[in-house]
């Protein structure tokens, strides 16, 4: 019961902070462009306290699941000179984008801060599997990977990132004895095993553990009944102490049945799982040099997080990611319940802040992106979209969003139970 209450509190903090920052972005720029703001509220529902300052009512309300910035004339007709409707297209679009911008700023601050607090690994090889594509190409321990197909790399994450659009063979530049050398790495893009799980970071930030943090929908793990909190301690007789041990074995066994030994609470379970097959960039098993965190590496790490999160939405639109793999409030709650320590919690807050920002910019009413489309249409046609038409579009969009939310929530519940 205590754990459940702590999870609810964490979830409310995340949703409250993300929504308040988003609405604060709208508020700041609305004030900057001298738009009337009737109310700025943290939370919904009955008020706890209210105070009017100049022309704006500031409210704190009981339901901490968001908030709102009520800009004059944004969602209705208004003849006031300080209304949203009376402003030019540039000012309207900036105000609508400001919420997304503030979500991104919050995420960047968090990611950079977390980057200072966790271990960072560059691209200098300290250990290398003799059968890896890198070793077969002649790269040795002590070499520092400089670029892949002309794209410079800085962190180990750059070398392990999914780049399935690359050709099978890639050109790798590396530094040895101060000189840049180039070599062709054969079969760098191959079919690898994938079961669809993420793992918890150890509380001290030292490594990623063997405990499952989240299971994606529609993958081998969920089909096998794996759950968040399970610890994968052995695969085919090989002890697995960290996510690296687990992922390396799974990658090499696409389509092959593996025997997993799992600890779930006080129970030890064995499951036969056949990893799904993914086409992915894979340079094999290697370890790189640990370096002291600094602003440079922290910023690079933050950039990688941005690329991964924004890229997941792009993959969704391209059809590379199924809607079944999306998570709603239940899925987020599941992840929140598994966060251990401040760093893990803050990192999740940053991820959700950026994800909410990117989602809001989608050209879909009644999201900010949908409102921007309406502003652009009005600017191009030089005609105001009738309030009734705009309302109907928003209602249809809201209904579709609710249906999507219900669908994703249902998938979350089925996956968890």
CA dihedral 222, 228, 234, 238 (to 10 degrees): 80
Indicate if 39 belongs to the active site: no
Where would I find the H helices in 118-197? 133-136, 156-160
User: Structure tokens of 64?
Assistant: 């901490």
* DSSP label of 323: G
Helix (H, G, I), strand (E, B) or coil at 372: helix
Query: Mind giving me the DSSP string for 270-314?
Result: EEEE--EEEEEE---SEEEEEE---HHHHHHHHHHHHHHHHHHHH
User: Structure tokens of 206?
Assistant: 């030292």
> How does 130-139 read in b/e, with b if 16+ C-beta sit within 10 Å?
eebbbbebeb
Catalytic residue among 23, 74, 173, 390: 23
* DSSP label of 242: B
Q: Which of 65, 59, 63, 61 is nearest to 14 (CA)?
A: 65
370-379 contact pairs (CB < 8 A, 24+): 370/394, 370/397, 371/74, 371/96, 372/93, 372/96, 372/97, 375/89, 375/92, 375/93, 375/96, 376/89, 376/93, 378/89, 379/89
Contact status, residue 172 vs residue 262, Cβ threshold 8 Å: no
Q: Please list the active-site residues.
A: 23
């Amino acid at each position: 019961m205590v754990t459940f209450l702590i999870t609810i509190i964490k979830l409310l903090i995340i949703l409250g902070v993300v929504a308040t920052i988003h609405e604060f972005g709208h508020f700041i720029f609305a004030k900057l462009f001298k738009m009337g703001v009737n109310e700025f509220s943290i939370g919904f529902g009955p008020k706890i306290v209210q105070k009017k300052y100049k022309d704006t009512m500031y409210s704190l309300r009981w339901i901490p699941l968001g908030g709102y910035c009520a800009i004059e004339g944004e969602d209705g007709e208004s003849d006031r000179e300080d209304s949203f409707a009376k402003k030019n297209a540039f000012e309207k679009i900036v105000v609508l984008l400001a919420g997304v911008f503030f979500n991104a700023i919050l995420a960047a601050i968090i990611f950079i801060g977390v980057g200072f607090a966790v271990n960072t690994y560059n691209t200098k090889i300290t250990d290398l599997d003799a059968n890896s594509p890198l070793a077969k190409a002649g790269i040795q321990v002590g070499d520092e990977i400089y670029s892949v197909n002309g794209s410079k790399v800085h962190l180990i994450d750059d070398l392990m990132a999914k780049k399935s659009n690359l050709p099978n063979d890639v050109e790798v530049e590396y530094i040895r004895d101060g000189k840049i050398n180039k070599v062709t790495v054969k079969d760098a893009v191959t079919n690898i095993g994938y079961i669809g799980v993420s793992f918890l970071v150890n509380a001290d930030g030292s490594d990623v553990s063997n405990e499952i943090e989240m299971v994606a929908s529609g993958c081998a793990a969920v089909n096998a009944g794996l759950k968040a909190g399970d610890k994968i301690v052995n695969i085919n007789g090989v002890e697995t102490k960290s996510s690296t041990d687990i992922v390396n074995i799974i990658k090499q066994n696409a389509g092959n049945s593996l025997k997993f030994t799992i600890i779930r609470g006080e129970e030890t379970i064995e499951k036969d799982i056949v990893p799904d097959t993914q086409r992915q960039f894979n340079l094999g098993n290697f370890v790189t040099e640990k370096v002291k965190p600094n602003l440079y590496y922290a910023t690079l790490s933050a950039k990688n997080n941005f690329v991964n999160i924004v890229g997941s939405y792009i993959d969704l639109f391209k059809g590379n990611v199924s809607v079944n793999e999306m998570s709603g409030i239940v899925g987020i709650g599941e992840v929140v319940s598994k966060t251990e320590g401040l760093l893990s919690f803050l990192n999740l807050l940053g991820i959700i802040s950026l994800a909410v920002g990117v989602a809001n910019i989608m050209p879909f009413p009644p999201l900010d992106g949908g409102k921007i489309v309406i502003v652009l249409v009005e600017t191009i046609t030089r005609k105001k979209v009738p309030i009734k038409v705009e309302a109907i579009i928003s209602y249809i969009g809201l209904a579709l969003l609710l249906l999507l939310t219900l669908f994703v929530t249902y998938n979350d519940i089925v996956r968890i139970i």
